[in-house]
Structures are given as structure tokens and as C-alpha cells.
Amino acid sequence: MSEAVTQLTESLLQQFKNETFVLLSTVDIESGGPTSTAISWIYAENASTLRVAIDHRSRLVNNMIENPAITVTIFGEEMVYAVNGRASVRQNPLQDVPFNMCCFDISIEAVRNALFYGAQLSSVPQFVKIYDQRAAEKLDEQVFTAMKKA
């Protein structure tokens, strides 16, 4: 994919069906500059919409409310993709989760290969949760269920 498309490819859509992590880049409301944060509460509602849940303690919530232009960077099979879009509040606060969160829908405007020319990823980065595994699974289940109902 060398040119931008306006929706997720089938392989990216499948990647978003499983737990993954991305870098969410927003415009910081205080500095006006870019800021990126790794998040994992994200999934594809469909090929043109991503849904994310963000803890209200994060600066990302106010950043996206103030300036909805965002980029989601995802490490796919062999490539790094930049997904540009606009965030809008889906549900605030997100219902049925144990702490104050905001749920956003991201309308996808462009999907581009963001890896430098002549390179490909040899593997997709993996992550592990280093806190109580049962607690992590329970919280993830609550958040994803609430996001899908939002």
C-alpha cells in the first residue's frame, strides 16, 4: 500500500478483531504540539471506523475533544500503518466500567504505509501485561463489552 486508502484493509480489519496495541497521536491542548501514547482498548467497528476507550485521567481525552484530528499508528504484518482520522465522543462517561472513561469513534480519512522505503517488519511487536492477569482479563472484558454497547 503506497497510496492512501480511506478504509482498513482486510488484514488490518482482522488485526483489530484481536487485542492489539497502537500509538494514538493527538495534538496537545497545552503545547499545541504532537503527543503519542500507546493504547490497547481499540477495535474496528467496521472498515471505516475505529472505537477507543480512554481513561479520563489521560490528557488524550481533552486533546481529542479540543482537536479531533488524530493518527493511529499500528504495526501490521510486514508494515507500519498510519491511520488518520477524526475523533468524536461516542459515550461520555462509558457505561458499565469501574472507572471514569470516555469512548470515542474515529472516522478514518486515510490509511497509509508509514514504514520507510525498502523496509518491512520482520515481526509484529508483542506486549505482555505485568499486573494481575485475572484482573487484566476482567477489566478488558468489561471495557470491550461496554465499548461495543456504546
What is the three-state SS of 80-108?
A: EEEEEEEEEEEECCCCCCCCCEEEEEEEE
Is 4 a residue whose pLDDT tops 80?
no
The cell numbers describing 15, all together, are 488485526
CATH classification number, 8-147, choose in 3.40.605.10, 3.90.1150.10, 2.30.110.10, 3.40.50.2000: 2.30.110.10
Kindly calculate the radius of gyration of the chain based on its CA atoms and give it in whole angstroms.
15
pLDDT at 133: 86
Per residue in 41-70, pLDDT (tens digit) is 999 999 999 999 999 999 999 999 999 999
pLDDT at 126: 86
Sketch the domain layout of the chain as residue ranges.
Answer: 8-147
Mean pLDDT of 58-85: 96
Is 85 a residue whose pLDDT tops 70?
yes
pLDDT at 71: 98
pLDDT at 43: 96
- In terms of Cα–Cα distance, which of 12, 24, 5 is closest to 71? 24
Q: What is the rounded distance in angstroms from the CA atom of residue 55 to the CA atom of residue 102? A: 6
Q: What is the rounded distance in angstroms from the CA atom of residue 36 to the CA atom of residue 31? A: 13
Q: What is the rounded distance in angstroms from the CA atom of residue 50 to the CA atom of residue 36? A: 17
